[in-house]
Amino acid sequence: MSYLRWLTSGVQRDIACAQDHGRIFRIGQSASAEQPGVLIVRIETLLLLGLTPAARKEIDPHLQTLKRVAPYLVDTHLIEATYANAIGDRERAQRALDRAGDVRSYTRTPQVVVSAARRRLGF
């Protein structure tokens, strides 16, 4: 199971219930646009829908906002690494994984999660 699929397993039911791409974003817009959870769901949804040019235009601003409001979350950096790897930017993916390894988390051990992500992304 890929890291992205593992990370999004909790929201996959919500995505499956959504009628279309627009409805997913309307659901997210009812909450604050800068809440880390909202940003993560938006980015994950776009990644699951495919990296079309339109999706890439939407992912970049969401990712930059997420990095600004939640640099303390391991998932912030792992999502960036997954995205960077998907677009072929291996250096950016490596830097994001390095930052993820530096995060101090009280909810789970970042090193274990980051090591698993490194293996899944081929680093």
* Structural domains of the chain in order of their starting residue, each with its CATH number: 3-121 (1.25.40)
Average pLDDT over all residues of the chain: 74
Q: Is 97 exposed, middle or buried (0-12, 13-18, 19+ CB in 10 A)?
A: buried
Enter the tokens of residue 68.
Answer: 């600004």
DSSP character for 104?
-
Q: What is the pLDDT of residue 89?
A: 93
pLDDT value at residue 28: 46
Q: Is 19 helix (H, G, I), strand (E, B) or coil?
A: coil
pLDDT band at 80 (very low <50, low <70, confident <90, very high): very high
Q: Confidence class of residue 53 from pLDDT cuts 50, 70 and 90?
A: confident
- Whole-model pTM? 0.64
The larger pLDDT score, comparing residue 60 to residue 26, is at 60
Q: Could you tell me how far CA 32 lies from the centroid of its own chain?
A: 17
